[in-house]
Amino acid sequence: MGKNQKLNRRDFIKLSSIASASLPIALSGFPIYANEKPKAFQFSSDNNNVLVLIQLQGGNDGLNTIFDLNQYDNLQNVRSNIIIPDTDLLTVDSTTRFHPAMSGIQEIWNQEKLGIIQNVGYPNQNRSHFRSTDIWHSASDANEYISSGWIGRFFDINHNAFPEGYPNENNPHPFAITVGKVVSETCQGTSTNFSMALEDPDNPGTALVSNTGKIPNNCYSNALSFVNDTIKQTNAYAEGIKNASNSGNNVSDKYTSSDLSEKLKHVAKLISGGLQTKVYVVQIGGFDNHDNQVVEGETTTGKHAVLLQELSDAMLAFQDDLKLLNIDNRVLGMTYSEFGRRIRSNAGLGTDHGTAAPLFVFGNCAKNQVLGDAPEINTQVDDQEGIQMQYDFRNVYSTILTDWLGATKSESNAVLFDSFDALPLFKSGCSAALSTDNVLLSTSEVKVYPNPTADFINIKFFGNNENLRITLYNSIGAIVKQIANKKYSSIQHTIKINISSLPKGNYFIHYQSKNVSKTKKILKY
């Protein structure tokens, strides 16, 4: 770079990528990346809805979180050393139960502000913590490596010059806040992360701008000027955060001293104080319980019970606070984890990395329901088998983008790199439920027979004149065969599949169309 050439923010970002294409340069809570720019698309994010993402780090054991009484005996057979007695479980509905530590979440359910989505995952489940977390954050296919996050791409569309020129009159506050020390990759845009890391709203932190002496006119001085400008920008955000914290309030007396409770307390205070931040990310770690998940002989206690109680109590306090502050119609919460655990417990009173798991959506606008089928358990489950996916997590993202954050369907498709049908997550008539069509239901009958089988299976279903995907998965969530991916007319169809060459074991048929998402287990002998 020549002596008299100026280094602007975009140039600085590009140069930073030469040093490291994947590692961030941290500037007062804003790491800067240089990534490939996505295809151009636009959408509006001008509603005042707020999304709060709660990440359960380590892989939550969904089978020790939500129980189905119809599957309980078989689950007890394959988890005899960690199973919780059915008499200790908390009632959800006629067949669904919660872990006994989840009385707070049970109360949210009783208030009709909780949705449970069963069996959420993605095809070709990766069981690495780091890689699976990357997939959830980027919303990529399992075989694709995308360096931006789905929330970051959402913001990047209308604000692709960020951080240059921000904050400004129309956007005076951070777009996203990660409550903690490190920003979330969910909020990574194409050039920078839209999330600001924040530990204490009353003390958001500022940095001094270098003003010692005259800055010479060369490339180094331009870089220093850039850093100074960025610090000024971060200080401006800090001022808005502190003002919102001073103006905000917490009313609920249900908060505890736990880390997650304190984080959600901060979020409620900032929202009530008028901060225009649209997305908050909070995390709770410790779910990777390969051993001592429970206390031997006292299975209602142990590490997982402690975590579920912290999560449950914090969610209840947060929801109670939002209600008392009269801002609960604007806020939607969602939990997620990189994967579930295997169906069989191990000898160390723990569970190993699995596949799909349930997640929660909560808030005034969340539809009070158990969406999806209870995981199918049998006593022939192998040691590697996890819960198979019924709903792709990107169906959940698509719904949040369109029905909560204000994207059109085509815009959501662009953010997620593909079309994912919306799920019925919101209450009828709720202000968040902007779209009511194109939802996945779970009521249509899909038959798979004979089962068990040695040579072939029949799949019987009714077409709906829409595109239909039928996929055969093995017990660890890998795709074995794409059976169908085309439009079927509105009559009954039967597909016969030869599986004689497959090894013996458990397999799963996943059936997905516009109106149906089903997973059926088959045994090959």
**pLDDT at residue number 7:** 41
Residue 266: closest CA among 249, 243, 247, 283: 249
What's the CATH code of the domain at 384? Answer: 3.40.720
Q: How many Cβ atoms from other residues are within 10 Å of residue 75's Cβ? A: 25
Pair (343, 489) in one structural domain: no
Taking the C-alpha atoms of residue 75 and residue 101, their distance in angstroms, rounded to an integer, is 19
Residue 241 shares a structural domain with residue 349: yes
Mark whether 73 and 117 lie in a shared domain. yes
Q: Is 243 exposed, middle or buried (0-12, 13-18, 19+ CB in 10 A)?
A: middle
Alpha-carbon gap, residue 232 to 248, rounded angstroms: 24
- Residue 21: inside a domain, yes or no? no
Whether residue 42 lies inside any domain: the answer is: no
State the CATH number of the domain containing residue 485. 2.60.40.2550
Q: What is the mean pLDDT of each run of 10 residues along the chain (525 residues)?
A: 40 35 40 38 61 98 98 97 98 97 98 98 97 98 97 92 90 95 94 91 66 61 65 82 95 98 98 97 98 97 98 98 96 98 98 98 97 93 95 97 90 93 88 46 74 94 89 95 93 94 95 87 93
Task: Indicate if 360 and 460 belong to the same structural domain.
Answer: no
The verdict on 452 and 408 lying in the same domain is: no
User: Does 106 share its domain with 224?
Assistant: yes
Check residue 47 and give its pLDDT: 80
Give yes or no: residues 283 and 339 share one domain.
Answer: yes
Residue type present at position 417: F
How many structural domains compose the chain? 2
Burial pattern 278-306, b for ≥16 Cβ within 10 A else e, equals bbbbbbbeebbbeeebbeeeebeebbbbe
Decide if 321 is inside a domain.
yes
Q: Are 473 and 479 in contact (CB under 8 A)?
A: yes
Residue 11 lies in a domain: no
d(CA 61, CA 357): 7
Which 3-state string (H, E, C) describes 371-410?
ECCCCCCCCCCCCCCECCCCEEHHHHHHHHHHHCCCCCHH
One domain, residues 338 and 217: yes
Whether 307 and 166 map to the same domain: the answer is yes
- In order, the DSSP letters of 62-127 are GGGTEEEGGGHHHHHHH-TTTPPPGGGSEESSSSEEE-TT-HHHHHHHHTT-EEEEEEEE-SS---
Strand partners, 519: 510
Q: Which amino acid is at 446?
A: V
Residue 383 lies in a domain: yes
Same domain, 210 and 64: yes
Q: Distances from the Cα of 191 to the Cαs of 41, 42, 196, 307, 403, in angstroms? A: 16, 17, 15, 35, 27
Question: How far is it, in rounded angstroms, from Cα 266 to Cα 248?
Answer: 9
Q: Report the candidate in 155, 14, 43, 53 with the shortest Cα–Cα distance to residue 393.
A: 53
520 falls within a domain: yes
- Helix then strand then coil, in percent of the chain rounded to 5, is 25, 25, 50
Residue 428: Cβ within 10 Å count: 8
Does 371 share its domain with 495?
A: no
Which residue range forms the structural domain that includes residue 503?
Answer: 447-524
Residue 369 shares a structural domain with residue 256: yes
Which pLDDT belongs to residue 462?
Answer: 87
Is residue 425 domain-resident? no
Please indicate, yes or no, if residue 229 is contained in any of the structural domains: yes
**Could you tell me the sign of the dihedral formed by the alpha carbons of 183, 185, 188, 192, in that order?**
positive
